[in-house]
Amino acid sequence: MTWLATLVPSIFVVIALTLVEIRAGKDGGDWKINLQNWAINLAAGVTVYRLFPVWNGPSLIDGSALPIWLAVPIYIVAQDLGEYLFHRAQHAVPFLWAMHSLHHSDPNMSALTSTRHFWGDRLIKSFTVWPLAYLVISPTTAALATYFGLSLWHFLVHSNLKLDFGRWTWLLNGPAYHRIHHSRLPEHFNCNFASLLPIFDVLAGSYRNPDCTPVTGLQQQPKNALQLLAWPLVSWRFERGAMEACATLAQERDCNTANDPAPFELDTHRRLQADPR
């Protein structure tokens, strides 16, 4: 698929969901920053990403040799498992979180939050998640088209709509389920990582049924396109300043920070500073 073929339906979906959000009286979110970031990612798609094509070597399963009703689900599950594992790594590995924290910095989730990813994320996936999925099964045209169609679902997942699947939440990611993942509340940390299929959270013990509509976002937020381009450095500088402030306050209180993570609760502090939870 060309970038234009994927962009047009994405724009239509975003416009439709935004109109629904407005109709529901929801805040438009940080739409200016999100649109700028979307433009940066599109520019990277036609420049930087072209220099690093996705590896598509030998596969364990030849997708073209399978019936479409079997090849498509296998590819989707393989891709989604890769996305799940990578997402968990983004919250555990500091340099990955420095990039991924941009996505979590949106204070008011909306359909456009789905576009709020650091431009380097996709580059790393082209060396990790996507080649691993190709290693499992070679995708057919039908599998790629189906997966792209399902990827449009992420705009709804990030929308500011009270859509909860109730007892069936564990089957498919949705707005209520994913908002818990973006929550600033400590009790919601490290849960609901699933991209499409929450069954991976269920199996890994990171599943949490949505039981409220929590506040989202991080203390540090990008203010312009330059900060979006260099977000990991911006995030790192903010974290460094926050930790220095924490150390200074600890000294003033005569507390040993090696034994006592106060004055801030460590988990809450990390979430607010854009640091791995």
Query: What confidence tens digit (pLDDT) does each residue in 12-29 have?
Result: 999 999 999 998 888 777
CA atoms within 13 A on the CB side of 100: 20
**Domain-located, residue 100:** yes
Number of domains in the chain: 1
Position 246 confidence tier, pLDDT thresholds 50, 70, 90: low
Confidence of residue 247 (pLDDT cuts 50, 70, 90): low
Assess contact for 109 and 158: CB atoms under 8 A: yes
Please give the average per-residue pLDDT across 143-158, as a whole number: 95
pLDDT at 208 over 60: yes
pLDDT greater than 70 at residue 249: no
The residues near 209 (Cβ < 8 Å, ≥ 6 apart) are 169
Which residues have C-beta within 8 Å of that of residue 166, sequence separation ≥ 6? none
> How far does Cα 26 stand from its chain's mean position?
21
- For the chain, give the percent of residues with pLDDT over 90: 67
Residue 184 has a CB neighbour count (10 Å cut-off) of 17
Residue 94, domain member (yes or no): yes
Is 242 a member of any domain? no
CA dihedral 31, 37, 43, 47 (to 10 degrees): -160
105 domain-assigned: yes
61 in a domain, yes or no?
yes
Q: What is the mean pLDDT of residues 82-100?
A: 95
What are the start-end ranges of the H helices in the chain?
3-23, 31-45, 68-90, 94-104, 119-125, 129-136, 141-151, 153-157, 175-182, 199-204, 225-229, 231-252, 266-273
Output 208 or 246, whichever has higher pLDDT: 208
Residue 80 lies in a domain: yes
In a domain, 35, yes or no: yes
Counting Cα atoms < 13 Å in the Cβ hemisphere of 207 gives 16
Residue 230 domain flag: no
pLDDT band (50, 70, 90) for residue 99: very high
Identify the domain containing residue 167 by its residue range: 3-204
